[in-house]
């Protein structure tokens, strides 16, 4: 039950990992901390605003720990705390490691992990690179970690699923992920890896949830590869965390005039290791190339994915309005189809991407011939 008391504290908005850690240490256990009186809470040294958030939350949800046990059992979510044996040791090395996280799948705490990250707005070149890197590195026994976002992240996961393990770190609650359009994608991942989140299960994604997600990606990994990123890409936040945590930072080079390679080229200029393929990473870690492994994909402008194209519902409707001869934006798609909510479109576009129906260029889409 100890970890459920800890996770219940995390339900209080503004009561983060450092406050939880401080309070648990002061009180001796999470269970004692949950029921501590006001005087003890004050003496624990928690900031007043955070303390107020916790006290108010506890007052409104006195049975939160017990309810959380039932919730996790009902939805088949697991909970891992920082004191559990299956908590990844490498993650404890970072500043303010997550005191707990929810997950589905099988944790392998001692495995060697490599992060592959990049922009949601990417090119066929970046997609091909991410797919090949994921496939080749997983085949060599590394676990590929990424953020499950549309674009480079998803292609890295897809490549890894062909040959080995992958870990998806979410920028939302785990319940939100498994109820969304990417449910089948996540179910594929938990068959050969893990989907995890430190956020309350029903917390929706927001701009504030992605930097914490990025820090966990960096914290789980021996090194992080940035495939494609412009100057303000979230992938660069992940690489910054990686550098701060003493992780290796790798980058795929691109054309000097290519917008989606500007961030990668700048990383290389600033000291990141330039890599051309997965073998360069394996060489860095003295890992043998898997015998008889031949990537199905090549680093090239076009990507080859086996694709029985089966579309129905809104995905089929969206594909119908995407032209073959010119690019169309998210906004234009939403203008043409009133019944799609803006929050639903990324999942639909991911499905079309994964089924090789569309080409994407910086957030614009064009239908592929045969797609």
* Together in a domain, 268 and 327: no
What pLDDT is stored for residue 362 in this prediction?
67
pLDDT average, residue stretch 325-349 = 83
Q: How far apart are CA 84 and CA 3, in angstroms?
A: 9
* Together in a domain, 221 and 181: yes
* Together in a domain, 37 and 129: no
Written as six digits, the tokens of 173 are 């609650």
> What residues contact 141, with CB distance under 8 A and at least 6 apart?
112, 164, 287, 290
Task: Tell whether the model's pLDDT for residue 197 goes beyond 90.
Answer: yes
pLDDT average, residue stretch 36-40 = 85
pLDDT average, residue stretch 7-26 = 90
> What residues contact 221, with CB distance under 8 A and at least 6 apart?
90, 113, 114, 115, 145, 242, 247
User: Predicted confidence band at 293 (pLDDT cuts at 50, 70, 90)?
Assistant: low
97 assigned to some structural domain: no
- Of residues 295 and 259, which shows the higher confidence score? 259
Written as six digits, the tokens of 2 are 């100890």
Task: Tell whether the model's pLDDT for residue 291 goes beyond 80.
Answer: no
* Together in a domain, 139 and 273: yes
* Together in a domain, 66 and 121: no
Question: What are the tens digits of pLDDT across the range 62-99?
Answer: 999 999 999 999 999 999 999 999 999 999 999 889 99
On average, the pLDDT of the chain sits at 88
147 assigned to some structural domain: yes
What pLDDT is stored for residue 344 in this prediction?
80
Q: How far apart are CA 82 and CA 180, in angstroms?
A: 28
**Cα–chain-centroid distance for residue 240?**
16
* Together in a domain, 258 and 110: yes
CATH number, domain containing residue 350: 1.10.10.10
307 assigned to some structural domain: no
Question: What are the tens digits of pLDDT across the range 221-241?
Answer: 999 999 999 888 889 999 999
Half-sphere exposure of 128 (CA within 13 A, CB side): 14
What pLDDT is stored for residue 345 in this prediction?
83
What pLDDT is stored for residue 310 in this prediction?
63
What pLDDT is stored for residue 294 in this prediction?
65
Q: Is 292 in contact with 336 (CB distance < 8 Å)?
A: no
Task: Tell whether the model's pLDDT for residue 305 goes beyond 60.
Answer: no
Parent domain of 47: 2-75
205 assigned to some structural domain: yes
Task: Tell whether the model's pLDDT for residue 301 goes beyond 60.
Answer: no
DSSP state for residue 80 in the 8-state scheme: E
What's the CA angle centered on 367, arms 343 and 341, to 5 degrees? 15
113 sits in which H/E element: strand 113-117
Among 33, 54, 75, give the residue marking a domain's end: 75
305 assigned to some structural domain: no
Count of structural domains within the chain: 3
* Together in a domain, 237 and 167: yes
* Together in a domain, 156 and 265: yes
CATH number, domain containing residue 241: 3.40.50.450
* Together in a domain, 154 and 221: yes
* Together in a domain, 238 and 153: yes
């Amino acid at each position: 039950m100890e970890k459920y008391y800890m996770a219940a504290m995390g339900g209080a908005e503004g009561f983060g990992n450092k406050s939880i850690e401080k309070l648990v240490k002061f009180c001796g256990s999470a269970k004692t901390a949950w029921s501590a009186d006001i005087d003890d809470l004050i003496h624990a040294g928690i900031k007043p605003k955070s303390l107020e958030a916790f006290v108010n939350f506890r007052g409104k949800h006195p049975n939160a720990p017990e309810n959380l046990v039932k919730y996790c059992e009902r939805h088949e979510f697991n909970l891992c705390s920082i004191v559990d044996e299956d908590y990844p040791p490498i993650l404890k090395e970072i500043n303010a490691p997550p005191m707990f996280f929810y997950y589905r799948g099988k944790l392998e705490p001692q495995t060697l992990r490599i992060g592959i990250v990049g922009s949601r707005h990417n090119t066929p070149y970046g997609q091909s690179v991410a797919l090949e890197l994921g496939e080749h590195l997983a085949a060599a026994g590394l676990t590929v970690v990424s953020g499950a976002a549309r674009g480079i992240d998803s292609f890295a996961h897809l490549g890894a699923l062909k040959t080995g393990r992958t870990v998806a770190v979410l920028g939302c609650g785990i319940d939100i992920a498994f109820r969304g359009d990417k449910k089948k994608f996540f179910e594929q991942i938990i068959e050969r890896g893990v989907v995890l989140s430190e956020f309350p299960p029903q917390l929706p994604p927001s701009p504030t949830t992605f930097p914490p997600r990025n820090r966990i990606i960096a914290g789980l990994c021996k090194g992080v590869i940035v495939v494609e990123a412009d100057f303000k890409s979230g992938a660069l936040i992940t690489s910054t965390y990686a550098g701060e945590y003493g992780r290796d930072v790798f980058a795929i080079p691109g054309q000097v005039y290519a917008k989606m390679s500007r961030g990668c080229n700048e990383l290389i200029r600033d000291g990141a290791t330039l890599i051309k393929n997965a073998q360069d990473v394996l060489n860095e870690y003295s890992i043998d190339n898997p015998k008889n492994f031949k990537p199905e994909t090549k680093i090239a402008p076009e990507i080859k994915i086996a694709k029985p194209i089966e579309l129905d519902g809104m995905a089929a409707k969206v594909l119908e309005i995407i032209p073959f001869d010119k690019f169309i934006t998210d906004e234009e798609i939403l203008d043409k189809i009133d019944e799609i909510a803006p929050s639903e479109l990324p999942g639909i576009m991911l499905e079309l991407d994964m089924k090789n129906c569309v080409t994407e260029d910086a957030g614009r889409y064009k239908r592929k011939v045969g797609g």
